[in-house]
Amino acid sequence: MSITSTTPRVAVVTGGSRGIGRAITRRLAADGYDVAIVYTSNESEAAAAVEEIEAAGRTGLAYQADIADGPAVERVFAAVEDRLGGVDVVVNSAGIMPLAPVAELDLDVLDRLLRTNVRGAFVVAQQAARTVRDGGAIIAFSTTVTRTHLPTYGAYAASKGAVEALVPILAKELAGRDVTVNAVAPGPTATELFFEGKPQEVVDRIAGANPMGRLGTPEDVAEVVLALAGPARWINGQTVFANGGLA
């Protein structure tokens, strides 16, 4: 079913309770979207995110699910369709980032990373392809580390390379539906996950390496997502690097 000018637009955001995902939910709600967030375990943060959505005058929903669990994700999308009438935009910002040199990474950790970042990305993309209304958008997440090639990021970058490979293929598979499929690849962004375990001198060095002279903010990335979700219709099948010119 196609959307019309009088149909409220509906977004599903995985990882929408914290960090970049949380900023995306706020930005979409401010632009008039009803938003359903999918979270892994932090129920209180998910509830707070819903409150922010509703404070913007939109409908907010929260669902707990493992994005790599196909039946669970299918149930979430069905519930959103039932409650809000359909889905127009899907943003998969959920992911994990364990870091270690290739020679030292525990293979059980690798399996967990691949399950979330590759299988999870595929599961969400699959359900989005089946569900998103004509005229909608599917937005995955990659990382600038696929270009900067930093030590200890090997497994994480490899998982995001898989996402970048999936995006243009899905865009072609959805030809004729006016549904765009893109990935956003942030650079270093000021989130709790980024700051964890980093001394201030390391943070300062990373910020200073950017031509803009600072870290990105979750709001910087959310603006890129908003454009891809709506007005930037001629960007399709691409990975958009949102990093201030770092790479």
Residues noted as catalytic: 156
- From the list 158, 159, 88, 167, the residue with the least C-alpha distance to 117 is 159
Q: Are 137 and 183 in contact (CB under 8 A)?
A: no
In the sheet that holds 180-186, the strands lie side by side as 60-64, 34-39, 10-14, 89-92, 137-141, 180-186, 239-242
* CA dist 49 → 17, 67, 80, 174, 197 (Å): 6, 18, 16, 31, 25
CA distance 214 to 195: 14
